[in-house]
Amino acid sequence: MFMFQLAQDLGKTVEELSQMTSEEFTYWMAFYDYKNRQAEKQINEAKARRK
């Protein structure tokens, strides 16, 4: 599913992403992982403040 999300975010097709190097794709995965962890951290901090 990640490929479809990345393609949508970059305004490309999944086939167009196949031209991307594996190194760049790995960096994109790391970037999205970082963003997701930051969002989870913010959610957990907000929950902790409500208690």
Q: Per-domain residue ranges for the chain?
A: 2-50
pLDDT attached to residue 45:
94
Q: What is the pTM of this model?
A: 0.81
Per-residue pLDDT for 44 more than 90? yes
Per-residue pLDDT for 1 more than 90? yes
Cβ-count burial of 32 within 10 angstroms (0-12 exposed, 13-18 middle, 19+ buried)? Answer: middle
Confirm if 17 and 6 have CB atoms less than 8 A apart.
yes
Section 8-14 average pLDDT: 97
Per-residue pLDDT for 51 more than 90? no
